[in-house]
Amino acid sequence: MGKRVGMEVSIAAAEMVGLCDVDVIAAYPITPQTHIVEHLSELVADGHLDAEFIPVESEHSAMSTCVGAAAAGARTFTSTSSQGYALMAEICYIASSLRLPIVMAVVNRALSAPISIWNDHADLMMSRDTGWIQTVAENGQEVVDLLLHAFRVAEDHRVLLPAIVNLDGFTLSHMIEPVLLPDEDEVKRYLPPYRPRLRLDPEKPMTFGPVGMPEVYTEVKKAQDEAFKASYPVIVETWDEFAKVFGRRYRPVETYKSEDADVIILTMGSTSETAMTAVDKMRAEGKKVGLVRLRLWRPFPFDELYQALKGAGAVAVMDRAMGFSGGAGPVCTEVKACLYDRAFYPYIQNYVAGLGGRDITVENFEEIHDKLVASMKRGDPMGYEIINVRE
C-alpha cells in the first residue's frame, strides 16, 4: 500500500521518478527545478535508486545525454526550467522526432529579460511546438500521478513520444503538501518494465537520425504528427487504467461548477485552486460562474474542451505568458482555434496575469469575471488585456 506523506512537491516528484525504476537521469541545476534533481542524486548516492545520475555541464547536454540513453534502451528522466529549457530546446525537437520516450518535469518559470527566477508559463509556451506530450499539474498529488502516467504513456508502443509534466515554479514546486505516494508494487502494476521497440544494439545495427532529403522530410513530419494525434486516446485510456489502480480519475479537461455556468474562467496550472476559491465566493454571491482547467496541453483536447465550454455565454481565458502575436496569449489562441469551426461559440476575452512571479489572487479572478461581463455588455471586440499592472 502507498502512504500519505507531508512532503515538498519537488521531493515527492523525485520520489515518484525513483519508484518508476528510472535507469538514466541527466540534469543540470537550474532554479526552481533544483530540488528535484538534488533529491534524485541523493536517492542514487544512498543506493535507494539503481540509476546512472549524470551531472552534465549544461541543459543542452542534459537532453543530448537523455537522447543517447533513451536510444540505447534506458528509461530516462530529466528536469529543467526557463533559461535552461531554452538552451535545451534544440534537442527537444530531435527527441520527439526520434520518437524517444524521455520523461521530463518542467518547473515553469519566466524567461529573461529581465531575469526572473519566479513562476509564469513563458517556458511552457516556448516549447509548445516541440512535439512532446505535455500535461500541466495543479497540485502535488497531480505532479506525482502525472509523472507516473507520463512514463506509462510515453513508453506505450502505440505512442513512443517524449512527455513533459509541467508544474509551477515555487508556488507549487516548493510547497509542502500531503501527497499519496504509491509503493513499488502499485507502481509495477501500472507501469510495466520499459521494453524499447528499437535501440542502438551492435547485434542488430540500425541507423538513427539520418539525413532527411526533401524527398522524405515531409513524410517523416506527417508520420510524427499522426503518431502525436494517435497518442490522445492512449493518454485517456491510460488515465482510465490509472483510476482502476489508484482510484483517482483524470481527464484532459477538468471542470468545476461549469455545467450550468453563464461565465467560465479557463486556467492552466496551480492558479486553478485559487480560481476554485474565487468561483465558490462568486457562486455564494449568486453569480453563475464556473471553472474549466486544461490538464492536457499537448496534444490539445479540442473536442473535450468544446464540450466543457459550449454551454457558457462568455469565457475568460487566463494566460500566464505573453504571446506577442498582438492578438491573444498562447492559451487563448488555442481556445479560439478550438471553437472557430463550431456552430456556436461563446464570447471570449483573454486576460494575461501572473507574469514573473506576480501573485494571482481570488480578487484577480473576481476582477476578471467583472471585466468580462462588462466587456460583453458593451460589445467590445474579443481581445486581450494584461491585468494587475502597476501604472
Residue 357 engages another protein in binding (rule: CB under 8 A): no
- Among the listed residues 334, 281, 278, 347, the one whose alpha carbon sits nearest the alpha carbon of residue 305: 334
Give least dist CB 100 to another protein, A. 10
3-state secondary structure 72-96: CCCCEEEEECHHHHHHHHHHHHHHH
Cα–Cα nearest to 235, from 147, 149, 294: 149
Binding segment for another protein (CB under 8 A), chosen from 47-55, 131-139, 245-253, 360-368, is 47-55
**φ/ψ of residue 184, rounded to 5:** -60, -40
Among 61, 171, 238, 258, binds another protein (CB under 8 A): 61
Among 20, 36, 74, 355, binds another protein (CB under 8 A): 74
**What DSSP character marks residue 356?**
G
Nearer to another protein, 221 or 310 (CB): 221
Whether a cis peptide bond, with omega within 30° of 0, leads into 299 is yes
CB of 112 to another protein, least distance (A): 20
- Minimum CB separation of residue 88 from another protein in Å reads 11
**In whole angstroms, what is the distance from residue 233 CA to residue 235 CA?**
5
Residues 169-208 that bind another protein (CB under 8 A): 193, 200-208
Of 82, 24, 81, 91, give the one whose Cα is nearest residue 55. 24
Subset of residues 359 to 378 that bind another protein, contact rule: CB under 8 A: none
- Pick the closest to residue 120 from 355, 385, 361, 293 (CA basis): 355
- Comparing CB distances to another protein, the nearer of 218 and 277 is 218
- Closest to another protein by CB, 26 vs 312, is 26
Of the pair 37, 305, the CB lying nearest another protein is at 37
Q: Report if residue 55 touches another protein, rule: CB under 8 A.
A: yes
Could you say whether residue 130 binds another protein (CB under 8 A)? no
Binding mask of the shown chain, residues 5 to 34, with x at each position contacting another protein by CB under 8 A: ------------------xx-x--------
CB 97 within 8 A of CB 224: yes
Q: Closer to another protein at the Cβ: 209 or 233?
A: 209
Closest to another protein by CB, 55 vs 327, is 55
Minimal distance in Å, beta carbon 157 to another protein?
A: 17
Residue closer to another protein (CB basis): 102 or 382: 102
Among 212, 233, 327, 383, binds another protein (CB under 8 A): 212
Q: Tell me the C-alpha distance between 121 and 169, whole Å.
A: 9
Q: Is 298 exposed, middle or buried (CB count within 10 Å of its CB: 0-12, 13-18, 19+)? A: buried
Instruction: Determine whether 349 is exposed, middle or buried from the number of CB atoms within 10 Å of its CB (0-12, 13-18, 19+).
Output: buried
Query: Between residues 208 and 347, which has the closer beta carbon with respect to another protein?
Result: 208
Q: Count the site residues for another protein by CB under 8 A.
A: 45
Report the largest interatomic distance among the alpha carbons of the chain, rounded to a whole angstrom.
Answer: 70
What values do phi and psi take at 138, rounded to 5?
Answer: -100, -35
Q: Which of residues 250-289 bind another protein (CB under 8 A)?
A: none
Scan residues 83-122 and list those touching another protein (CB under 8 A). 90-91, 94, 98
Closer to another protein by Cβ: residue 67 or 331 = 67
Distance CA 124, CA 345 (A): 27
CB of 199 to another protein, least distance (A): 8
Q: Binding residue for another protein (CB under 8 A) from 64, 83, 139, 258?
A: 64
- CB of residue 116 vs another protein: minimum separation in angstroms? 25
Alpha-carbon distance values, 374 to 202, 295, 371, 379 (Å)? 67, 29, 5, 9
* Of 162, 128, 94, the residue nearest 337 (C-alpha): 128
Phi, psi of 54 (to 5 degrees): -110, 105
Query: In 3D, which of 209, 21, 201 has the Cα closest to residue 99?
Result: 209
Positions in the binding site for another protein (CB under 8 A): 23-24, 26, 50-52, 54-58, 60-61, 64-74, 76, 90-91, 94, 98, 193, 200-213, 216
